[in-house]
C-alpha cells in the first residue's frame, strides 16, 4: 500500500516547544507514519499510510491546541448553470480530500470553498469544475486566511504595548518604594487596583499561556508555558489571598505583571525573527509575475495569468518586464538582471539559445521565450522548496536540545517544590517560601534554550542566501564546517564549460583570421556541437558574414565538409584530413596541433588555410577560490572525465597538485570512498549529470547553480553563481553559524546554572527573575542576528 504526504500551515505556535508538542501529538494519531513540524515556517508535514480527510487532520491539530490555516475563495457560477449541475459540482468538491467545506450563496450565484492553505490551490477547484463542464469565475481575491500574517504580528505588538503600559505603574511603584515615597504611591495605586490590573494582564493578555499549558499537560508534558502560568498565577492568587484576609500589607501583583510582560516581549521578538524566514519565501514568490504575454499564431499577443502558461508556449517579454517563465530565448536579444535569483551583480546578455529564469528582469530589448519549466519544476518554485526543506530538517544538535528541554522542565518543577519545602521547614514563613519557589519557576523558563539553535540556523542560512549560497539541508550546514578535503569537477566548475577560441593560426596569405572564422562558421552553422558554438560565437563577436553551406556532411568524431560559394572545404581534426588521404604537417603550426584545422579542396589537392586552438576557459575566480580553501586548511583535487592534458593544464593554472583525469562516474565514487577511508571528510563540487553520484556520496555536495537539475538535487548546498569561491564562503558561513549555536547554548545553560540556585536561595524575587529570563532570551536572539553583520569573503 502506498503512502500519502501532505503539508499545511499551522497557526498558534508561540515557541519551538509548541512545534515539538504538536509534532509528538500528530505522531500518535492514527495512520501517521511520521510528522515534522517547523516552527520557523509554521508548517507541518505528515506522511500517512493512506489518504486521510483534511477535516480529520484539522481535528488532530485542534486537539493539540493549534489551528490549521485555511483559505476561503468565492467563485462566480455561470448564469446558465442549472441547480442539478450546481449540486453535482458541490458533491464533487465535497468528495475531494483537499477541500474542507463548500457552500452556496442564497442567490445561487456564488460558490464559497474553504480549503487548507498549502495543501491545495484554486486551480484544483477550477479543474474539478472544468471536469463537470462548468467554468467558474474567480471573484475578488479576498482570501480569509487564518495563520501567520502581518495582522497576527501586529496583534502581538499591541499585546506587548498594552502589557508594558499596564506594567509601568508597578515599575513606578518600585521606584517610589526605593526613595521612601511608598505611602504616596499606595494612595495613587492602591492594592485593589493593583490586583485588577495584574489580573487583567494575566487573564486577558496572557490567555495564550493558559491555553498552551492546558494542551501540554493534557499530553502529559510540561513546557515553558507551564512554568510561566504556575509562577504568575501563584503570585497573583497569593496576593489576592492577602488582600481578602488582610494578613499582609505587601503584595506581589507586580511579579505577575513583570512575568507576563517580559515573556510577551520575548515571544514577540522570537516571532519577528521567525517571520523573516516567511518574508524571504514571500519575497521569492513575489518575483513571479502574475501576467504574461502569449504569442499567438499570426504573431499577435494576448495576456494570460502566469499560472496558465504551458510548456512549449511562446511568450513575449518587453524591456522593463519580469521574465514570466523558465525557458529559452528563440528570438531577439536583451540584457537580463538575474541579481535576485543568482546574486550576479551585472546584467547578462541573452541571445537566441540562451536560458532565462522566471522572475529575472529584462533590462532592455525585446525577446521571445519558449516555456520549458512551469509550476513545481520552475527555478523559483524549486528555490522556495529548497528553503522550506532547509528549515524543515533538523540538524543533529536539535534532538539533544529537545531531549534536554524535556528533562529540564520537570526538573525545575521538582526544584521549585524542594525550595518551597526547604523554606517552609526553615521557619521563614509561607509567604517567603512561596516567593522563592515562584522565582525558581520564572527564572527557569527555557526560552533561551529553545531559541539557541533555530535562530542561529535561520540567521546562517539567510546570510548564505544573501551571498548566493542556498543551503537545502541544515545537516549539510553542520557538516560543511568539518570538511578536510574538497574534490572539484573540472568542466563547468573550475572552467566555464564553454569552449572558446584562444588562438588562430592562418597559413594562407589570402585568408586572414577573420576570413578563416567566417568560413569555419559558415560550415558549422546550425550545429549544436560545443566547438561549432565556439566558432559561431567568435564569428558573431567579429561580425563576420556567414554564407549558406551546400552539400553539408558531418563525419562523426572527425569534423565536417561542405561547399561554399567559392569551393569545397574540410573543417575538423587531423584525422578528418587523413580520411581524405591528406597528412597534415603540424610543424606548420609551430609544432602545436590545433584542435580544428581548415582546408580547401582544389581538385585532388589540399590548400591548408590554417587552424584554431580551442580550450575550455578557466574561470577568473578559480585560482583565488582554491587559495582560499587552502588557507582554510583544506586539501584540494580535480576529478574529471576529460583528457590528461586538459585536466593537467587546469590544475597548473589553478595551483592544484592532485588530479585524476578520464574519471567516469564510477571512478569518481571510488575515489571519494578512498579519501573517506583515509579519514577525510570529503566535499564534492560539480555541475553535471555525471557528477551527481559523486555529489550524493560525498559528505557534502556543492552544485553550481548553472548545472543540471540532477546535480542540484544530489547536493545539499547550491551555489547560485558560477563562482567556485562560494565554496570557501559556504564553509566559513557554516563555521560561523555553529560557533553561534555553541555560544547560545553555553549562555543559555550558564544562565540557568547560575540563576537557579540564586532564586532557590532567595536572592532573586520573581520580578527580577522575569527580567533576567527575558534578558537571556533577548541575548540569544541578538547573538544569532549578529551573523547578519558578519563579513564573509
pLDDT digits (tens, 9 = 90+) for 6-52: 878 888 776 666 787 888 888 888 888 888 887 767 788 888 887 77
Do 176 and 188 reside in the same domain of the chain?
A: yes
**Given 489, 642, 687, 691, the catalytic residue:** 489
pLDDT of amino acid 593: 64
The residues, ordered by sequence, that sit 6+ positions from 682 with a Cβ below 8 Å of its Cβ are 483, 484, 485, 486, 487, 672, 675, 676, 698, 699, 700
Q: Rounded to whole angstroms, how far apart are CA atoms 531 and 571? A: 11
pLDDT digits (tens, 9 = 90+) for 553-567: 877 667 889 999 888
pLDDT of amino acid 404: 58
Tell which of 736, 753, 786 closes a domain: 736
Task: Say if pTM beats, i.e. exceeds, 0.75.
Answer: no
Q: Is residue 131 in some structural domain?
A: yes
Cβ–Cβ under 8 Å, residues 647 and 490? yes
Position 681 confidence tier, pLDDT thresholds 50, 70, 90 = very high
Tell which of 564, 582, 617 closes a domain: 617
Tell which of 68, 90, 123 closes a domain: 68
Position 273 confidence tier, pLDDT thresholds 50, 70, 90 = low
Do 169 and 259 reside in the same domain of the chain?
A: yes
Do 486 and 514 reside in the same domain of the chain?
A: no
What range does the domain containing 604 cover?
498-617
Q: Is residue 388 in some structural domain?
A: no
pLDDT digits (tens, 9 = 90+) for 485-508: 999 988 778 888 777 888 888 888
Residue 669 clears pLDDT 60, i.e. is over it:
yes
Q: Is residue 741 in some structural domain?
A: no
- Give the pLDDT mean for 276-284: 58
Position 306 confidence tier, pLDDT thresholds 50, 70, 90 = confident
Residue 470 clears pLDDT 90, i.e. is over it:
no
CA angle 299, 303, 305 (to 5 degrees): 135
Number of other CB atoms surrounding residue 612 within 10 Å: 23
Of 115-129, 408-422, 652-666, give the lowest mean pLDDT range. 115-129
Do 485 and 625 reside in the same domain of the chain?
A: yes
Position 180 confidence tier, pLDDT thresholds 50, 70, 90 = low
Position 678 confidence tier, pLDDT thresholds 50, 70, 90 = very high
pLDDT digits (tens, 9 = 90+) for 745-779: 787 777 777 777 887 777 776 656 656 666 776 77
Q: Is residue 295 in some structural domain?
A: yes
Do 488 and 637 reside in the same domain of the chain?
A: yes
**The domain spanning residue 15 has which CATH number?**
3.30.70.100
pLDDT of amino acid 712: 54
Do 625 and 724 reside in the same domain of the chain?
A: yes
Do 502 and 613 reside in the same domain of the chain?
A: yes
pLDDT digits (tens, 9 = 90+) for 182-235: 666 666 778 889 899 999 999 999 988 888 778 777 777 666 677 778 778 877
Do 637 and 662 reside in the same domain of the chain?
A: yes
**The domain spanning residue 368 has which CATH number?**
2.70.150.10
**What is the share, in percent, of the chain residues with pLDDT greater than 90?**
12
CA angle 538, 540, 544 (to 5 degrees): 95
Do 43 and 99 reside in the same domain of the chain?
A: no
Cα dihedral sign for 276, 281, 283, 284? positive
Of 190-204, 264-278, 323-337, 532-546, give the lowest mean pLDDT range. 264-278
Q: Rounded to whole angstroms, how far apart are CA atoms 170 and 625? A: 59
- Give the pLDDT mean for 95-113: 75
pLDDT of amino acid 394: 46
Q: Is residue 483 in some structural domain?
A: yes
Do 465 and 487 reside in the same domain of the chain?
A: yes
Q: Rounded to whole angstroms, how far apart are CA atoms 516 and 522? A: 10
Q: Is residue 404 in some structural domain?
A: no
Q: Is residue 787 in some structural domain?
A: no
pLDDT of amino acid 343: 40
C-alpha cell, 701: 555536495
Catalytic annotation on 489? yes
Do 244 and 306 reside in the same domain of the chain?
A: no
User: Structural domain tally of the chain?
Assistant: 6
The residues, ordered by sequence, that sit 6+ positions from 295 with a Cβ below 8 Å of its Cβ are 301, 314, 315, 316, 368
Q: Is residue 361 in some structural domain?
A: yes
Mean per-residue pLDDT over the chain, rounded:
79
Do 599 and 612 reside in the same domain of the chain?
A: yes
pLDDT of amino acid 108: 63
Amino acid at each position: 500500500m502506498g503512502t500519502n504526504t501532505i503539508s499545511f500551515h499551522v497557526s498558534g505556535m508561540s515557541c519551538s516547544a509548541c512545534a515539538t508538542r504538536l509534532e509528538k501529538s500528530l505522531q500518535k494519531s492514527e495512520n501517521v507514519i511520521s510528522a515534522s513540524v517547523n516552527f520557523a515556517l509554521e508548517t507541518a508535514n505528515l506522511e500517512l499510510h493512506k489518504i486521510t480527510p483534511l477535516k480529520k487532520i484539522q481535528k488532530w491539530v485542534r486537539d493539540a491546541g493549534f489551528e490549521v490555516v485555511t483559505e476561503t475563495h468565492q467563485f462566480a457560477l455561470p448564469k446558465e448553470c442549472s441547480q442539478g449541475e450546481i449540486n453535482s459540482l458541490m458533491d464533487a468538491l465535497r468528495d475531494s480530500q483537499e477541500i474542507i467545506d463548500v457552500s452556496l450563496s442564497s442567490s445561487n450565484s456564488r460558490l464559497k470553498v474553504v480549503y487548507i492553505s498549502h495543501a491545495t490551490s484554486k486551480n484544483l477547484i477550477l479543474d474539478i469544475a472544468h471536469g463537470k463542464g462548468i467554468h467558474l469565475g474567480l471573484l475578488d481575491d479576498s482570501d480569509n486566511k487564518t495563520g501567520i500574517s502581518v495582522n497576527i504580528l501586529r496583534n502581538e505588538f499591541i499585546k506587548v504595548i498594552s502589557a508594558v503600559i499596564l506594567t509601568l505603574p508597578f515599575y513606578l511603584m518600585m521606584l517610589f518604594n526605593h526613595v521612601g515615597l511608598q505611602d504616596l504611591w499606595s494612595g495613587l495605586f492602591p492594592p485593589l487596583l493593583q490586583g485588577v490590573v495584574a489580573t487583567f494582564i494575566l487573564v486577558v493578555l496572557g490567555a495564550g499561556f493558559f491555553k498552551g499549558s492546558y494542551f501540554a499537560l493534557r499530553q502529559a508534558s510540561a513546557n515553558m508555558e507551564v512554568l510561566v502560568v504556575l509562577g504568575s498565577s501563584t503570585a497573583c492568587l497569593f496576593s489576592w489571598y492577602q488582600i481578602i484576609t488582610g494578613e499582609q500589607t505587601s503584595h506581589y501583583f507586580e511579579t505577575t505583571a513583570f512575568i507576563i510582560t517580559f515573556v510577551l516581549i520575548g515571544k514577540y521578538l522570537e516571532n519577528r525573527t521567525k517571520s523573516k524566514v516567511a518574508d524571504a519565501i514571500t519575497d521569492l514568490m513575489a518575483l513571479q509575475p502574475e501576467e504574461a504575454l502569449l504569442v499567438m499564431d499570426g504573431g499577435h499577443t494576448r495576456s494570460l495569468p502566469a499560472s496558465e502558461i504551458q510548456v512549449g508556449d511562446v511568450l513575449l517579454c518587453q524591456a522593463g518586464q519580469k521574465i514570466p517563465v523558465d525557458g529559452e530565448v528563440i528570438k531577439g536579444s536583451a540584457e537580463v538582471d538575474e541579481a535576485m535569483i543568482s546574486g550576479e551583480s551585472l546584467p547578462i546578455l541573452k541571445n537566441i539559445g540562451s536560458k532565462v529564469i522566471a522572475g529575472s528582469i529584462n533590462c532592455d530589448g525585446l525577446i521571445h521565450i519558449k516555456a520549458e519549466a512551469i509550476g513545481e519544476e520552475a527555478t523559483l518554485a524549486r528555490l522556495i522548496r529548497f528553503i522550506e526543506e532547509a528549515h524543515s530538517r533538523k540538524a543533529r544538535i536539535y534532538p539533544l536540545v529537545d531531549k534536554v528541554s524535556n528533562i529540564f522542565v520537570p526538573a525545575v518543577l521538582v526544584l521549585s517544590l524542594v525550595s518551597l519545602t526547604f523554606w517552609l521547614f526553615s521557619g521563614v514563613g509561607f509567604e517567603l517560601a512561596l516567593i522563592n519557589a515562584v522565582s525558581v519557576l520564572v527564572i527557569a523558563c527555557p526560552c533561551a534554550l529553545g531559541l539557541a539553535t533555530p535562530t542561529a540556523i535561520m540567521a546562517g542560512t539567510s546570510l548564505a542566501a544573501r551571498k548566493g549560497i542556498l543551503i537545502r539541508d541544515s545537516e549539510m550546514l553542520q557538516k560543511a564546517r568539518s570538511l578536510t578535503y574538497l574534490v572539484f569537477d573540472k568542466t563547468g566548475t573550475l572552467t566555464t564549460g564553454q569552449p572558446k577560441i584562444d588562438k588562430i593560426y592562418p597559413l594562407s596569405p589570402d585568408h586572414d583570421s577573420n576570413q578563416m572564422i567566417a568560413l569555419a562558421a559558415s560550415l558549422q552553422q546550425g550545429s549544436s556541437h560545443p566547438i561549432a558554438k565556439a566558432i559561431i560565437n567568435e564569428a558573431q563577436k567579429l561580425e563576420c558574414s556567414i554564407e549558406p553551406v551546400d552539400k553539408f556532411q558531418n563525419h562523426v568524431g572527425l569534423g565536417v565538409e561542405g561547399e561554399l560559394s567559392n569551393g569545397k572545404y574540410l573543417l575538423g581534426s587531423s584525422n578528418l584530413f587523413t580520411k581524405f588521404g591528406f597528412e597534415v604537417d603540424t610543424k606548420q603550426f609551430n609544432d602545436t596541433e590545433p584542435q580544428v584545422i581548415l582546408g580547401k579542396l582544389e581538385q585532388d589537392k589540399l590548400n591548408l588555410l590554417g587552424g584554431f586552438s580551442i580550450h575550455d576557459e578557466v574561470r577568473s575566480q578559480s585560482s583565488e577560490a582554491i587559495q582560499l580553501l587552502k588557507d582554510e586548511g583544506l586539501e584540494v583535487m580535480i576529478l574529471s572525465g576529460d583528457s590528461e592534458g586538459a585536466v593537467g593544464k587546469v590544475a597548473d593554472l589553478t595551483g592544484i597538485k592532485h588530479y585524476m583525469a578520464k574519471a567516469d562516474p564510477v571512478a569518481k565514487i571510488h575515489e571519494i570512498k578512498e579519501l573517506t577511508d583515509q579519514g577525510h571528510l570529503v566535499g564534492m563540487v560539480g555541475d553535471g549529470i555525471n557528477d551527481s553520484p559523486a555529489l550524493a556520496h560525498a559528505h557534502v555536495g556543492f552544485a553550481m547553480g548553472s548545472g543540471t537539475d540532477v546535480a542540484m538535487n544530489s547536493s545539499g548546498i547550491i551555489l547560485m553563481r558560477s563562482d567556485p569561491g562560494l565554496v570557501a564562503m559556504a564553509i566559513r558561513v557554516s563555521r560561523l553559524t555553529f560557533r553561534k549555536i555553541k555560544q547560545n547554548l553555553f549562555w543559555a545553560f550558564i544562565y540557568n546554572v547560575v540563576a537557579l540556585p540564586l532564586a532557590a536561595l532567595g536572592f532573586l524575587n520573581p520580578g527580577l527573575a522575569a527580567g533576567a529570563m527575558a534578558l537571556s532570551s533577548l541575548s540569544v536572539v541578538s547573538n544569532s542576528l549578529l551573523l547578519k553583520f558578519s563579513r564573509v569573503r
